[in-house]
Copies of this chain bind each other. A is one copy, B any other.
Amino acid sequence: MEKVRVDPDSLLDFATALFVQAGLSTEHAATIARVQLEADLRGMHSHGMRAVPTYLDRIRRGIINPRPKLTVTDLGIGVLVDGDAGPGQVVASRAMEECLLRARRQRVGLGFVRNSNHFGAAGYYAEMALAEDMIGFATTNGNLVLAPWGGITPTVGNNPIAIAVPAGEEPPILVDIAMSVVAGGKVDLIAAEGEALPEGWWLDAAGQPTRDLAAALTGLGIPLGAPVAGYKGFALAFAMEALAGALTGARFGREHTLEVENGPLPWNEGHFFLAIDPSLAMPLADFKSRVDQMIREVRSSQPIPGGAPIHAPGELGWRRREQALREGLTLPGSVVQGLQRWANELGITRKLGRAR
């Protein structure tokens, strides 16, 4: 489908208006829109505005509570947030703020979240730590995507690992990855765009590699390490399920389902956050300059002829973000279509501003 270039500010306002129309407060609506926009700005369209129609639909179905009353319980060095089935972006942002507050006071902070929903890209919350010159960590559980290695029963979410590390002169490190070879959202995006599913991306429900989109959409992710050691990706996702699910008091494992829409209510997704102040271990400026050195070493690596472009983790997203803010954001056509369909349905007449 043809790509569309839009103005990021206009897109933010447009998405905010959709959520306000769906019943959210302006503040909460803007929070969701901001989290999703940031993913698109980094080129992660699988985790950006693409999800807005899904969220609006979940509000309509009563899966996402548009007017949540968050309960924040102080645990000293940690905080427990009950999200009242609110939008994951709203609940998670609050939890990471509380986590960072504690890390400012005590050098370390933890955030446990229950009764939340899909929160967009985990990296957003890890990156919140950067404004405080801290190391941020975020994970979540969610709808089931991975089966144990050797098995085909969906058992854990495609639980991401997101780690942000502040740098000095270089763009910060951001790791933000699902535990399958590609995130499920990428398969959904391929489907929406009418493209062909690449080889090695997904399994069917019987655990066999497939390039059939219909089979993939009811299938399983391929865990990192496959085909030799797919137990590794599963093990990492399983450990994240223990942190974000078992430890937080949220639903976990097979208490969730393959699709959120067919799942139990409340959906009760869990998140886990951690912030560490690097100045606990050494002067901040020294740490940042050491991180700069790490990043420059990646960039100076000798390339494999014909290989993938070399970037430090997070670097490509950072450069894309700068470019999009300067020149406009290029979105997959299906994403813009999805937003406009919901605008029509909700009776919003404003237009999404195209970039100059």
Contacts and interface: CB of A to CB of B under 8 A. Distances in A.
B108 A253 contact: no
A280 to B, nearest CB: 5
Contacts of A149: 307-308, 310
Given A155-B298, A235-B313, A228 B201 contact: yes
A342 interface: no
Given A229-B181, A280-B110, A294-B253, A173 B206 contact: no
A66 to B, nearest CB: 27
Q: Could you say how many copies of this chain the assembly holds? A: 2
Nearest to A278: B247
- Chain A, interface size category, equals 35 or more
A304 B78 contact: no
Contact of A225 (B224, B249, B312): B224
A127 B233 CA distance: 20
Nearest to A307: B150
Contact of A252 (B165, B207, B294): B294
B291 A242 contact: yes
Nearest to A314: B235
A318 interface: no
Contacts of A148: 298, 301, 310-312
Contacts of A108: 77-78, 108, 110
Given A173-B238, A177-B232, A294 B151 contact: no
Contact of A304 (B152, B236, B303): B152
A293 interface: yes
A290 interface: yes
Contact of A308 (B76, B77, B150, B175): B150
A239 interface: yes
Q: Closest 3 CB pairs between A and B?
A: A151-B301, A150-B308, A153-B301
